[in-house]
Structure 1
Amino acid sequence: MKSVQVQNPDMAWHIAANILFPPGFDESKKFPTMISVHPFGSCKEQTSGNVYGKALAEQGFVVIAYDASFQGESGGSPRWIEDPTQRVEDVSRVIDYAVTLPYVDENRIGVLGVCGGGGYAVNATLTEKRIKAVVSITGVNIGRLFREGFSQYDPLGALEAMAAQRTREVRGGELQVNELLPASPEQATENGLTERDVFEATDYYKTPRGQKPGGATKMLFSHAQKTLAWDAFAFAETLLTQPVMVVVGQKVGAFGAYRDGMEIYGRATGSKDRQLVSLEDWSHYDLYDKPEPVGMALEKLIPFFKKHLDEPVAARRRDAAE
C-alpha cells in the first residue's frame, strides 16, 4: 500500500488516498483500477478501503481508496462538510490523478461505493464516462435521506435552521458540528436508539469493530443545505449507460438502503448490464464487514468487474486484428 496526496490545479486542498496494489504488482504493466468511495461519516481506512478495497486488490485490481474533501486526512476548511456535489467531483479528481499513473489502464476504470458512497458512485457514473462499471454496496441516496429522516421529515424547517446557523457562524459564532451517532452501543440502548440502522451504525463506528481516527461521523450543520436539494439518481434513465450492480441486504433499516437500491436498479434501464444482488437475512451494516455477507457480495461483484473491465482490452485487440 502507498499513501498519496492528490492535488489538482483547480483545488486549494489535497485529497488523501491509499493506493492498494495487487499481488505481483509490476509498475511497467497496465492494471484495471478501482476508485473506492467511503460512506457518509466514514474514511478510507474503513469498509471502502480495508474490506472491499483490500479484496479487490487481492483479485488483481489497483485500488484507490480516498478520504472525501473536508474529511479524514484530506484537506479543506471548514471541516466535516458533507456536500454531494463536492463528493461527486472528488471521484473525478481522483480519476484525474489515476490516469496520470503509468500502471493505470485508463480504459479499465471502475468505481465502487458503500452506503452514501454508493449513491455518490452511481451519481458520478451518470456523467463521468471514464468510469466503465459501477457497483453500489448498500448504497443510500443522501439527498432523499436528508429530506426525510435526517430532517425529521421537515426539510424546509431544516433549511431555515441551517440558514440561521450559517449567519451566526459568519458573524463569529461557534460552528455547529453535529455528531451523527450515540457515543457507544450502551448509550444507544440507554437512550432508546435501538432502530436497526442507528444501533448497528453505532456498533460499527463507535467500537473497535470499525472505529478509525478519520471516521468521525460528524457533519457541519450550516453547510449541509445543498444536500436537501440533491438527488443521487436524477436522470439515471437517460445517463446511466454503464454496467451497474446494486448490492442490498433485505433486513431493512431507517437509512433506506434497500429502498434506494431497488429504486436505482429499476431506473437503470439504459445500462448495458444491470444486476441486483439482494441478500436475505443481512442488513446494511452487515455488508460493511461481516465475512459471510461481504463474501456473498464479492462473489458477485468481482466477476462483474472482471468481465466489464476486460471488455475494452478485448475490443482493442479485435480492432487491432481487423
Structure 2
Amino acid sequence: MMNSQKVTFQNHNMNWPMAALVLYPDNFDENLMYPVVISVHPFGSCKEQTSSAIYGKALAQAGYVVIAFDASFQGESGGVPRYKEDPSQRVEDISHAIDYAVTLPYVDSNRIAGLGVCGGGAYIINAALTEKRLKAVVGITPVNLGRLFREGFSEYNPLGVLGAMAEQRTKEARGEVLQVNELLPSSPEVATELGLTEPDVFEATDYYKTPRGQTEGGATKMVFSNAQRILSWDAFAFTETLLTQPVMTVIGKNIGAFGAYRDGQEVYGNATASKDRQLVELEDISHYDLYDKDEPVSLAMARILPFLEKHV
C-alpha cells in the first residue's frame, strides 16, 4: 500500500492554507535524507488524481519523497473565489510547496525536482525560470494555458473573450453572481451526443467524468470573469535565457486540440540555456493516455527516472 500523509502548509503571501499529500518511499526512515519531487496537477484537476495517484506513486516507489498539492482556489487549498485559475499564483504555489519541503528534516534541500502534468507541466517549467531551488523539471504532456486560451479556448478571438470577461466582472462587482463555467460535458455519452468527439475533449471527458479519474476535488470548473490574466500569460517566455536547469518534456505523438505536442516541442527547442534538455516522443499515445494508462505511463517513467537520477 502506498504510504502517504495529508498535510497543510501556509501560503504566506496570501495568508491561506495549502493542502497536499506527501508520499513516502517504501521502508521510509525519517532519520535519512531523501530527494523530493514537487508534483503539480493539471488545469481543472486536484492532488488526488494523476499528480499523486499515478506519477507521485511511481516516484515514491523509486525512492523519492513526493509533495502533490492542490492549487490555490482549488481542491482543499484556500483562496476565494473558488475555481479560479491564476497562472501567476499557480507558479507561486510551487515556491510555497518548496518552502514547505525544505522544512522537513528528511528532505535534502539540494535535491529538489519538479514534475507536472498538462497545465501543471507548463507551470513547473515556468517556475524553474526563476525558482532555482528546482534542480531539474519534467513536463508530462505540458500545455501552455495562455497559448491555449488565446487560440482554441477563445475560438481564436482573445479580444472578444476579454471584452466579455470585462462585462461579466463589472456585473459581478455590482452584485450579480459569479459566472462559473463547466469546462467539459457531463459524460462521454453526452460528449458524443453534442458532437464533441475531438480527441482531447472526448478523452478529457472520459478521464474527468467517469470513475476512471473522477474525484470530488477535481472540479472541471473555472470562474470566467477572473481569467483575464491567463490570456496575457506565456508559460515559456524567456525560456531561452532563464531555463538553465535540466528539463525533459514527454509528449504523445497522437496530436490533439490542446496542443501539448506543439508545446513540448517548443520547450525543447527554446531551452538552449538548459544544462540538459530532453524531448521524449511516444508513438501512438495521446495526451490523456499519459494521465493514467499503464503502458504510456511506464514508457514515460522509463525515461523520467534515469533523468532525475542523473540530475537530482
Q: Counterpart of 1:207?
A: 210
Q: Is the 8 A contact 2:11 2:93 kept in 1?
A: no
Q: Counterpart of 1:152?
A: 155
TM superposition score normalised by structure 1: 0.95
TM-superposed CA distance for 1:9, in Å, is: 3.2
Give the 5 Å matches for 1:154-173. 154-173=157-176
**Aligned equivalents of 1:119, 1:183: Cα separation in 2:** 26
**Aligned equivalents of 1:293, 1:78: Cα separation in 2:** 36
Amino acid at match of 2:141: T
2:72 counterpart SS class: coil
Kindly report the root-mean-square deviation, in angstroms, between the aligned alpha carbons of the 2 structures: 0.6
One of 256, 277, 281 as aligned partner of 2:284: 281
1:223 counterpart SS class: coil
Q: Counterpart of 1:196?
A: 199
**Aligned equivalents of 1:8, 1:299: Cα separation in 2:** 34
Q: Counterpart of 1:49?
A: 52
One of 81, 98, 113 as aligned partner of 1:95: 98
Q: Counterpart of 1:121?
A: 124
**Aligned equivalents of 2:141, 2:16: Cα separation in 1:** 30
Q: Counterpart of 2:7?
A: 4
Amino acid at match of 2:111: R
Q: Counterpart of 1:19?
A: 22
**Aligned equivalents of 1:10, 1:260: Cα separation in 2:** 30
Percentage of matched positions with identical amino acids: 71
One of 229, 238, 242 as aligned partner of 1:226: 229
TM-superposed CA distance for 1:11, in Å, is: 2.6
Q: Counterpart of 2:71?
A: 68
TM superposition score normalised by structure 2: 0.98
Deviation string for 1:227-277 (max 9, x for gaps)? 000000000000000000110000000000000000111001111011111
Q: Which runs of 5+ in 1 are unaligned?
A: 310-322
Residues paired across the two proteins, number: 309
Q: Which runs of 5+ in 2 are unaligned?
A: none
**Aligned equivalents of 1:109, 1:263: Cα separation in 2:** 24
**Aligned equivalents of 1:162, 1:223: Cα separation in 2:** 8
TM-superposed CA distance for 1:307, in Å, is: 1.1
Is 2:205 the counterpart of 1:175?
no
Deviation string for 1:155-183 (max 9, x for gaps)? 00010111111111111101100000000
Q: Counterpart of 2:133?
A: 130
**Aligned equivalents of 1:302, 1:123: Cα separation in 2:** 21
1:14 counterpart SS class: strand
TM-superposed CA distance for 1:28, in Å, is: 1.2
Deviation string for 1:103-141 (max 9, x for gaps)? 111000000000000000100001000000000000000
TM-superposed CA distance for 1:12, in Å, is: 2.0
